Amino acid sequence: MHAGGERCAVYRDDDGQVHAVSARCTHLGCLVAFNRAERAWECPCHGSRFAPDGQILQGPAVRPLEQRDI
C-alpha cells in the first residue's frame, strides 16, 4: 500500500485495529514482509524484526519502523 507517495506496511490485528508503518527497514531500507506465524514484520536483508506497531523486536535495526497515517 502507498500513503503520501511512500510504501506502507499494513496489519489488522485480532481486534480489528489497523497498524500502518513504513515498509522500509530502518537499518538499511530494505522492504519488510509480514510473518503471520510470528506476527512480526521481518527484514529479509539482515534479519531485523518489528512488532505490528513498528517497535523493534530484534536488531540490527536500532530505530522502530515509522508510523504512517492511512
Q: For residue 65, tell me if it sits in a domain.
A: no
In a domain, 63, yes or no: no
* Domain tally, the chain: 1
Dihedral over Cα of 26, 31, 35, 39: its sign: positive
Q: Taking the model in full, what pTM does it have?
A: 0.86
Max CA pair span of the chain? 32
pLDDT tens column, 12-61: 989 998 889 999 999 998 999 999 999 999 999 999 999 999 999 999 99
Q: Which residues contact 15 (CB under 8 A, 6 or more apart)?
A: none
In a domain, 28, yes or no: yes
Residue 53: give the domain boundaries.
Answer: 2-58
70 has a pLDDT exceeding 90: no
Asked if the structure places residue 13 within a domain, the reply is yes
Alpha helix positions (H), 1-70: none
Q: Residue 39: CB partners within 8 Å, gap ≥ 6?
A: 51, 52
Q: What is the CATH number of the domain that holds 17?
A: 2.102.10.10
Residue 68 domain flag: no
